[in-house]
Chain A
Amino acid sequence: MKFTSKFATAAAVAALTIVLGACGSKSAQSGKKDAAHSVALVTDGGGIDDKSFNQSEWEGLQKWGKKNGLVKGVGGYNYAQSNSDADFVPNVNKMIQAKYKTIIGSGYKLEKTISDAAKKNPKTNFIIIDDVINQKNVASATFKDNEAAFLAGVSAAMTTKTNKVGFIGGVHGQVIDRFEAGFRQGVAAVNKKITVDVKYADSFSKPDVGQALAQAMFNNNEDVIYQAAGGSGAGVFSAAKNAIKSKKVWVIGVDRDQTAEGKYKGGNLTLTSTVKGVDIAVEKLADAAKKNKFPGGKTVVYGLKDDGVKLTRGNMSAKAWAKVKEYKQKIVSGDIKVAEKPSQLK
């Protein structure tokens, strides 16, 4: 077997390379371990680079970790990416076994997993974002996305020239319903004649679908699109960058300031972004856990009032920005109640 021996030589050489290489690579870790206050994040399918929800949370967690001088990894702070829904339970369990003290479930899709795990592991703290779990060791954080989406609707209505705007959602459900309802209500508050074209990508991780939907909307003369589609929203920006070569179009970003995503040669096409303070929520809850004051069993609601959600100034005209501020005041004072579901709209 001549081939086998040749192969064995090759394998030995490669193995040696790896060993030597491994010796050479230095561990770039710095910071200390504090297992009693370690925090881990489990994503909901999008990665921590989804330019949206998961990324915001991870940024909040990183900020918290650096502030406290903790190491990334076991005993400090870390994340686990879920490649599919089947990974939720193993990921959470692996975090529990790695002795992370506080575990964050990123988004409503992890509600069942976190709820089950919390029952079986009463000594571990859990945080669920965007959903409510009534258990002693779970803190819930929800956001009034509809309020920020309302303001996005106002800015879109003040900016559109064609009186046609679009909305691209991720997946139908309670959370994105809030975005859709708020946006449509905001547009209608400024001008009832403006039509809102609502489409769904049916996924938070399909930029190609987002791009195709946005392309069709731009072709249909819709000149402002609000995307609430997580990772699929990246495609909306790609489509806009193509469309802007021939006409003026705008995209409204979601969950975090997406100004960077709207850069193109000659300007920026991100009109504004609705910012969801998940990073602040994560940071605050991790801080509370660090001080051994974890708000287990409680639900924290973030809205326009406390800047838990907000709309960025972005590239809005002064007139539009003034209108946004006017409506923000009305919502904060309670003069306007923003719908949570499209079915509540007239």
Chain B
Amino acid sequence: MRIKNKNIQSIWIPIIAIILGLLVGAIVMLLSGFNPIENYINLFTGAVGTPNAIGEVLRAATPLILTGAGFAIANSAGFFNIGLAGQALVGWLCSVAFANAFPSWPGYLLLPGAIIAGALAGAIWSGIAGFLRAYFGASEVITTIMLNYIALYGTNAIIKGVLAHGNNDYSPTIPVQARLRTPFLENLTQNSTFHWGIIIAIVAAIFLWWLMKKTTLGFEIRAVGMNPDASRYAGMSTKKTIIAAMLISGALAGLGGAMEGLGDFQNIVVNTALPDIGFDGMSVSLLAGGAPIGIIFSALLFGVLKIGGLNISITSTTPSEIVNIVIASVIFFVGAQYMIRYFFDKSGKKGKKNGKKGAAKGKADAPTGTDADQAAPTTQGGDTE
């Protein structure tokens, strides 16, 4: 009974959240004198109406799946990785720099090399924060935020000083054989920026599932996240686990950046702000509750809103600011899904008032959105103590 109820919830809650967001967006549009129905139709057709639009949505989702997966791993270890954006940026830089450094290499060496360079750079960048946390207890929130700034201004200096030709503020375009965007995909999707990175992203989501559910390291990561003291008592090396989680998290974020460098942009420009994929990746992961399949779907939702949103102001007179409010309110309600969950639980409890009281109470106490086996390490740790 409980399982069934939960399944219904996990499907309905995001859908209700999206509908609520669209309603608020519609009210905003109405108040401003624009036609919401027309605009929502434009949003939808702008996101899935043509092969080009679908290609753009998938392209926008690709790095978000990677940064979302990266956030999920660190989060499982009790680590709040705000540095995804910075890690993605150094990954972006290093993948482009690698591809440009060896233009004569054949594609089967250059492309994997550039991808690995991006992942490694991201891993090292987050590894710094992981190391400081593991050995000195430095708050990762502060260190990753500051590393974001170092990444932003450091990469800008490297682009201007080393990569760019002359007085440009962008690097040269990467060699053809290092590009993830191919003429085949461009023909398929009417010249969209869709690229092969989507396969890397899906593999990463499967990897996340495999790592967390099937390996000892995954179990240790979750155990350390639940209760580091108990995990240490049970004989796990918390330092090793924290650093491992942070390295994997950064590698995935770095891959996300490499997707931008090798796929979407094919170069790197001087950035005035950190790339969106970092913070959007956090939202994607939180929305999905850290579940790999959920990350794919919530990344797609972000892609649909972002790409479809562009279409609204192109095909109608609605200004893009209004569109941004609409998109933000959808994301807001999706993010605030705990509120909806609360109402669900409350109404569910009322119905069961005459039934087993104890069972209902136990359910309310269980952490929302986690599976039963995730709670296991805590109980285990408690027993040993």
Interface residues of chain A, those whose CB is within 8 Å of chain B, are 1-4, 7, 11, 14-15, 17-19, 21-22, 25, 27-29, 40, 45, 47, 72-74, 78-81, 83-87, 89-91, 93-95, 97-98, 109, 112, 117, 120-121, 171-174, 177, 202-206, 341
Contact = CB atoms under 8 A, between A and B. Distances in A.
A91 to B, nearest CB: 6
B56 A81 contact: no
Contacts of B191: 93, 117, 120-121
B104 interface: no
Contacts of B317: 28-29, 72-73
B314 A3 contact: no
A171 B270 contact: yes
A18 B315 CA distance: 20
Contact of B321 (A11, A47, A93): A47
Contacts of B160: 172
B167 interface: yes
A96 to B, nearest CB: 8
Interface in B257-296: 260, 264-265, 267, 269-270, 272-273, 275-276
A73 B312 CA distance: 11
Given A93-B52, A94-B314, 9 more contacts: A7-B16, A11-B23, A14-B23, A14-B26, A18-B37, A40-B314, A80-B320, A89-B193, A93-B192
Interface in B210-266: 260, 264-265
Specify the main secondary structure of chain B where it touches its partner. Answer: helix
A173 B347 contact: no
A249 to B, nearest CB: 26
Contact of A47 (B36, B37, B273, B320): B320
Given A2-B351, A18-B26, A173-B270, A94 B46 contact: yes
B34 interface: yes
B311 A11 contact: no
Interface residues of B, number: 59
Interface of B: 16, 19, 23, 26-27, 30, 33-38, 46, 50, 52-53, 56, 60, 156, 160, 167-170, 173, 186, 190-193, 260, 264-265, 267, 269-270, 272-273, 275-276, 307, 310-311, 313-317, 319-321, 324, 343-344, 346-348, 350-351
A211 B170 CA distance: 27
B167 A173 contact: yes
Contact of A18 (B30, B192, B276): B30
Shortest beta-carbon contacts, A-B, top 5: A3-B347, A203-B272, A81-B320, A173-B169, A21-B30
Contacts of B156: 202
Contact of A22 (B35, B53, B321, B344): B35
Nearest to B327: A83
A206 B272 contact: yes
A15 B40 CA distance: 13
A167 B275 CA distance: 28
Contacts of B23: 11, 14-15, 18
Given A80-B314, A173-B167, A86 B52 contact: no
A262 B290 CA distance: 50
B314 to A, nearest CB: 5
A14 B160 CA distance: 53
A14 B27 CA distance: 9
9 contacts: A3-B347, A18-B37, A22-B37, A47-B320, A98-B314, A98-B315, A109-B269, A120-B186, A174-B169
